[in-house]
Structures are given as structure tokens and as C-alpha cells.
Structure 1
């Protein structure tokens, strides 16, 4: 009986270790291939952020989307063109969109709600570029101040 109890405790200990290890593990983002371009998107939650930091070196164009007040944004429509040909059109599933493209010149158009920001970039043959897009806080966009002497609305 003692032998069985010891085996049971050992089995429970191993099960607890495996369950807790699974809770701390992070899966790498699943790459998507389209038109000869590979990309990953996401970055919601601490585990995903860590996973994106681990795979960042595999992508030579890394885009980040945030409000000017520092809040990360998702659901940003992105179009990447080269020589007026669209090489990628995607919607971000989080604040990160990491893309692997051939070296060269690109135009990136990123649209959050009704505002589009455009940037011209050059991807080097070695290394990578980090491109950040910032928009006004989406909760404050369109707020009008009706009187000139009124205090400005508080920033959130």
C-alpha cells in the first residue's frame, strides 16, 4: 500500500509540474504566407507579446500600432506596396504585424477606423526595420471644443 501511495504522489507531482509548465509556455505565432510574403499578426496579452518578441528576428519589417496616449491598437487595415503593386493587404489581429519581404522600397498604408497613415520605408538586405504608427486616441477622435475659454478635456 505504501508503494502504491508513493507512486500516486509521484504521478500527481509530475502531473502538476506538466500542467504548470503548460500554463507558462507560449506558442509561436502562426506564420501566414501570401503572394510570396510571410507575416504574423497579433500581440494581445503578455504571452503573445513575449512570443512576438521571440520571433521578431525572423521578420525584416516589424509594424506596431498604437494611440498617441500609449494604448496598443488592433484591427488596423494595412496595405504594403512595392512599385505600385500591392504585395500584402491584411488586417492586424493585435498591435503587431511582422512581415518578411525582399529588400527594397515599400509604401505602407495603415488605416485605423477612418484615418490612414502612410510611410515610405526601405528594407535593408541585412537587418530589419521597425515602423510605428500612432493615431490620436480613438475614444477622443472627433471631440470638438465649442467654446474658446472652456478648459480642455482631460486626457485619458
Structure 2
């Protein structure tokens, strides 16, 4: 009798664990591949953010894209070039995260948002990983020109 009671209590717990794991797996985009390089991009919504955090250790280059005001950005054009100058990956992000699995080595990363390109050099280690964060000025304030130095900043163009 006690065995049946334990099993009946254990089954719902196991189902909940399985269901939450399946939900995380469904919210993580399927890895894509280009030139033999595996990557995922996304991170829109709380479930997907949690799924990306869980997947992070499987990728040795992790990039985040945001405005300097703190808003996450997507639709960033990213180009990864090897130390030898060979283009390894060209992708447009589908969220604020781009996680890539690369061979160890030196790379140059170019990230373009609204005609402004940020460039970084990174050493991807044989073990562990590298993290890069790219920040652009607030998209709503791009191209704002102040005519005089003493003019107050109204906060909006």
C-alpha cells in the first residue's frame, strides 16, 4: 500500500519536471549551421531567455545586443571573420542573443545596427567560452543634433 502511495505521488512530480523541460526545449530555437559553424539566435520572451541561459555552456562565443539605454535589440547583422581573414559566419539576429560554437582561435566580430558597425576582436578559448556585449545609442535618439551647447536636452528629438 505504501509503495502505491509513493508511486502515485512520484508520477505527478516526474510529469511536471518532464513538462517544464519540454517547454524549455520548445522555446529554444533549433541550431542552424553555416560553413560548419553551429549557432542559435533569439531570446525574445522570458521562456526563451531562460532556455538560452540553459544552452549557453554548449556555445563558446556568446553575444548580447542592446541599446545603451538598456533595451535589448534584434535584427543586428553580424559577421564573424577568422584570424586568417576568412568569413566564417554572416547572420541577422532574431533576438538579443547570438550563441556560436567555433573552433578555438582569434576572430573579428562586426555587428551592424542602423548603419553603425561595432567591431570587436575576440580569442575563443579551447575550453570555456567568451562573452561579448554590443551597445548602441538609443534607437529613438539616433541622429539627434544639438544646435547649441547650452540647449536643454528634452529627452526626445
**TM-score, normalised relative to structure 2:** 0.82
Counterpart for residue 93 of structure 1: 94
Contact 1:104 1:122 in 2 (8 A): yes
Give 3-state SS (helix, strand or coil) of 2:139's partner. Answer: coil
**Range 89-98 or range 140-149, more displaced:** 140-149
CA shift for structure 1 position 148:
2.8
CA distance in 2, matches of 1:114, 1:153: 25
Contact 1:29 1:51 in 2 (8 A): no
1:25-104 alignment, distance < 5 Å:
25-26=23-24, 27=26, 28-82=28-82, 83-104=84-105
Give 3-state SS (helix, strand or coil) of 1:48's partner. Answer: helix
CA shift for structure 1 position 94:
0.2
> Structure 2: where are the runs of 5+ without partners?
1-11
CA shift for structure 1 position 146:
1.9
1:10-25 alignment, distance < 5 Å:
25=23
CA distance in 2, matches of 1:36, 1:60: 15
> Structure 1: where are the runs of 5+ without partners?
1-13
Aligned pairs, number: 137
Larger-Rg structure:
1
Give every structure 1 segment of 4 or more consecutive aligned residues whose post-TM-superposition deviation is greater than 6 Å: none
CA shift for structure 1 position 33:
1.2
**TM-score, normalised relative to structure 1:** 0.82
Q: Deviations over 1:101-142 (max 9, x none)?
A: 000000000000110000000001100011000000111010
CA distance in 1, matches of 2:127, 2:71: 31
Counterpart for residue 145 of structure 1: 146
CA distance in 1, matches of 2:100, 2:23: 24
